[in-house]
Amino acid sequence: MKKFVLSRDDLNPSDYSIEYEELLNEAQYSAVMHDRGPVLLVAGAGTGKTRTLVYRVARLVESGVDPSQILLLTFTRRSAHEMLRRASQILDERCQRVEGGTFHHYCSKLLHLNAESIGYPENFTIIDASDAMDAIHLVRSRMDIPKEQKRFPKKLTLYSIISSSINKQRSIRQTIEDEYPQFISHLEKIDELNSKYQDYKELNYVMDFDDLLVKTRDLLLNNDEIRTQVASKNRHVLVDEYQDTNALQAELTRLLSSYHKNVMAVGDDAQSIYSFRGADHKNMMRFPELFENTKIIKLEENYRSTQRILDVANRVLEEAQEKFDKKLYTNNEQGDLPGLVKAANMNDQSRFLTQMILNLREQGSELSDIAVLFRNGRDSFDLEVMLNKKDIPYIKYGGQKFTEAAHVKDVLAHLRVLLNPKDAISWNRILLLIDGIGPKTAEDLFSWAHQNGNPFRPENAPNISERYLTQLKALGDLFSKLKQLKGSVPEQLQAVVDYYSVFCKKRFDDHPKRMKDLETFVDISGTYRSLETMVEEIALDPIEATAIETEASQKDESPLILSTIHSAKGLEWRTVFLIQCLDGILPSGYALDDEDQLDEEVRLLYVAVTRAKEQLFITYPALFQSRYGDYFSNPSRFIDELSDELIEPWLLVEDNEASQQSQIEDKKDRLEN
DNA sequence: TCTTACCCAGTTTTT
DNA sequence: CTGGGTAAGA
């Protein structure tokens, strides 16, 4: 028996209601009981990192720390909620009062509270990446960019350059030199555009995602009083998924914990998969440099997976050029050999999946114990069609979001100008819908609205052409109605949807589906406390596209999970299928000529594999079907060399009778449609 | 001068 | 399926 000397806390260990020592292993226990000062918790996949955080929250609350003085920063809002829910379960409801969310959420909250100090009004609007790109587009069109021989970067590229320079804390020049050398000749213009873009946002009281971090950093850095006030409130700061934080977030972590210096960063450098967002897994190893007297605790025993799954995971990690000094081990059972399934084509792959899933369900598995993972959002389209056909309920994480679809953004824009009349991006969007109004007229109308009184009566503007006068009146009427309906989000939303339906029909061929989406949106909008919270939460935490459909159909069975690997971070399922494991997809074709990026793709595969508890299947089609034609494809270079002892090859064979049957069904389906 | 219709190209991952 | 570019039409 090892002895562990506890430093005295507010509460004597023997007085705790939870038996931490029995419920945790030694390393977990020491993390949970850690008293003061910075800690770096290096936790491999499935080693109980979440469990440790949950118990630490409970332990802190139980020992008398005011829950509102604990800050739990996580990668998604979902995971913060889940952790606090679990902490509440093992202790009590007090844990729900812990301050939790993403860096962006927390920063947003601080900025709203201290808006005055940064020269913003309290009602500033948060714009998402696509709004930001619209703004950049607008700014660019106002500059005169000479039509040189060389192409000027597109708005997407410009946004990436600007965002990357911020998240990696480098100059625009450095960013272009490192990542976009082809645009170095445009450096001056890009610099100018960037500063105009920054001005534009301040002028219109909007902030993009990066501003939330930058402006909070600046607020805390430049304002001693506020920093002391904020940091002294954060008695304990816990940061999850630290391997995916960037330089800016590391600095924020330091500032936020600068008073009490009780900070615990938790992560696994082998699972760092967000470098495209400026994250640097080396951040983790730099933590002890940034925080003096850091205690390092390692969690090494895996409780999640069978040994055979871990064998594959360990082998995968060897593919990386940069070695990790870790090998996952477990005392769990050996388990079944993972399967490597080669399907003839994508359709067969989907058939295999649906049939396996139905089999598992028959054997008593919950659908929600099964996950299908993939590299890109679109890799599941074929499967989704088949799941729909077979009536298997699923929810998909990652890929296109519901609230990012054009029709939803259109509707939201009408509500956003209500909250922030200076939001030029939304005005632009609204006005461009109207027949006869293009970019120029929209801009003129907006600048009129800014200088003169009431932007909500756009028909009063001068020089209005007959072509769109009545339409502008209708818009004005909509705003009056919205103001009357103040306080009821669903009614306001319904009014916009009614107004918008005519535009929807004109703009989209698939308007019936889109209108149905919008009606569902109206239905669920009652869950938001106010228009302000709805608009803000949707920007920071967009609704998943399938969440709305699942809500609509109200299936009583908990759904199957489809997810991009990125969105599957931190989660686990009994059975995991990784589909489309092809060279050019995983690793992505974009990563092939860069060693660092290839390493990240290895880590991505590693994350996917380590999500599985009991069963793992990696599948790929031999024939890749694209719009330009079909061609034979190779399995991912990372799995191609795995030996049969590690992963068992599966062969799909047709049951002739059954295949005839399914052909008949296919025919029936076609006749019915 | 401004709008719109049409065509073509390219499509990672997310707060 | 969407963005961007072009050319014709108002």
Query: Strand B-proximal residues, CB under 7 Å?
Result: A 75-76, 102-105, 128-129, 209, 273-274, 276-277, 375-378, 397-399, 435-442, 540-542, 564, 566-567, 588, 590-591, 627
pLDDT for residue A427:
87
A429 and A532 fall within a common domain: yes
Question: Which pair of structure tokens corresponds to residue A218?
Answer: 């600046």
Q: Considering the domain boundaries, does residue A236 fall inside one?
A: yes
A393 plus A406 within the same structural domain = no
What DSSP state is assigned to residue A117?
G
Determine, yes or no, domain membership for A336.
yes
Residue A5 pLDDT: 44
* A372 in the same domain as A325: yes
Tokens encoding A389 = 């056909």
| Range name among A143-147, A484-488, A525-529 with the lowest pLDDT average | A143-147
A439 shares a domain with A366:
no
My answer on whether A442 and A531 are in the same domain is yes
Q: What sign does the CA torsion over A664, A667, A672, A673 have?
A: positive
Residue A148 pLDDT > 70, yes or no? no
Q: For residue A47, say whether it is annotated as part of any ligand binding site.
A: yes
* A497 shares a domain with A425: yes
Q: With respect to residue A520, please indicate whether it lies within any of the assigned structural domains.
A: yes
Highest mean pLDDT among A39-43, A197-201, A322-326, A622-626: A39-43
Residue A565 or A622, more confident: A565
Return contacts of A348-352, CB within 8 angstroms, 24+ apart.
A348/A621, A348/A652, A349/A382, A349/A383, A349/A579, A349/A580, A349/A619, A349/A620, A349/A621, A350/A382, A350/A383, A350/A385, A350/A386, A351/A386, A351/A662, A352/A619, A352/A652
Instruction: Label residue A655 left, alpha or beta by phi (over 0 means left) and psi (-120 to 50 means alpha).
Output: beta
Q: Which nucleotide is nearest to A600 (CA to C1')?
A: B13
Nucleotides of C under 7 A from a protein CB: 1-5
Eight-state DSSP code of residue A556: S
Count of C-beta atoms within a 10 Å radius of residue A304: 21
In a domain, A670, yes or no: no
Q: Are residues A96 and A236 in the same domain?
A: yes
> Looking at residue A6, what is its pLDDT?
45
pLDDT tens digits, residue range A152-162? 788 888 898 99
What residues are paired with A295 via a beta bridge? Answer: A39
Q: Around A460, how many Cα atoms within 13 Å sit in the side-chain half-sphere?
A: 10
What is the DSSP code string of A485-522?
A: TTT-HHHHHHHHHHHHHHHHHHH-TTHHHHHHHHHHHH
A520 is in an annotated binding site: no
Instruction: Supply A59's token pair.
Output: 């332990």
**Rounded percentage of chain A residues whose pLDDT exceeds 90:** 42
At residue A338 the predicted structure's pLDDT band, cuts being 50, 70 and 90, is: very high
Is residue A499 within 8 Å of residue A410, measured between CB atoms?
A: no
Q: How far is the CA of A413 from the C1' of B3 (A)?
A: 22
| Nearest one of A268, A223, A262 to A244, comparing CA atoms | A268
Last residue of a domain, which of A170, A204, A238?
A: A204
Nucleotides of chain B within 7 Å of a protein C-beta?
Answer: 1-4, 11-15
Residue A156 beta carbon within 7 A of nucleic strand C: yes
What percent of chain A clears pLDDT 70, i.e. is strictly above it?
91
A263 exposed, middle or buried (CB, 10 Å; 0-12, 13-18, 19+)? buried
Token pair for residue A262?
């009780």
Q: Is A539 in the same domain as A408?
A: yes
Residue A668 covered by a domain: no
Domain-terminating residue out of A149, A169, A204: A204
Angle subtended by helix axes A172-179 and A155-167, to nearest 10: 110
Answer whether residue A542 shows pLDDT above 60: yes
Domain assignment present for A452: yes
Residue A588's nearest CA partner among A605, A608, A569, A606 is: A605
Q: Has residue A5 been placed in a domain?
A: no
pLDDT confidence bin for A423, thresholds 50/70/90: confident
* Residue A424 and residue A395 share a domain: no
- Name, in order, each residue with C-beta under 8 angstroms of A20's C-beta and a sequence gap of 6 or more: A29, A32, A33, A55, A59
Same domain, A526 and A408: yes
CATH of the domain at A345: 3.40.50.300
- Using alpha carbons only, give the angle A405, A409, A411 rounded to the nearest 5 degrees: 125
Region of poorest pLDDT, from A138-147, A369-378, A419-428, A510-519: A138-147
Domain boundary among A272, A299, A326: A299
C-alpha to C-alpha distance for A506 and A56, rounded to whole angstroms: 55
Q: Are residues A362 and A329 in the same domain?
A: yes
The answer to whether residue A347 scores a pLDDT higher than 70 is yes
For residue A405, say whether its CB is under 7 Å from any atom of strand C.
yes
Q: Which residue has the higher pLDDT, A359 or A557?
A: A359
The answer, yes or no, to whether residue A672 has pLDDT greater than 50, is no
Is pLDDT at A671 greater than 50 in this prediction? no
Q: Between A215 and A543, where is the model more confident?
A: A215
Q: Is A49 marked as binding a ligand?
A: yes
Between CA A80 and CA A652 the distance in angstroms is 41
The total of structural domains in chain A comes to 4
Average pLDDT over every residue of A544-559: 68
Note the pLDDT of residue A93: 87
Q: What is the pLDDT of residues A370-394, one digit of tens each?
A: 999 999 988 898 898 899 889 899 9
| B11: residue with closest CA to C1' | A378
pLDDT tens-digit readout, A552-574: 555 677 889 999 999 998 899 99
Mean pLDDT value across residues A234-261: 94
Q: What's residue A147's pLDDT?
A: 58
The answer to whether the beta carbon of residue A406 comes closer than 7 angstroms to any atom of strand C is yes
The spacing between the Cα labelled CA in A172 and the C1' in B2, in angstroms, equals 35
pTM of the model: 0.89
Q: Is the CB of A145 under 7 A from strand C?
A: no
Q: Is residue A322 part of a domain?
A: yes
What's the CATH code of the domain at A487? 1.10.486.10
Residue A137 belongs to domain spanning: 128-204
Domain match, A381 and A523 both: no
Is A476 annotated in some ligand binding site?
A: no
Residue A574's φ and ψ, nearest 5 degrees, are: -65, -45
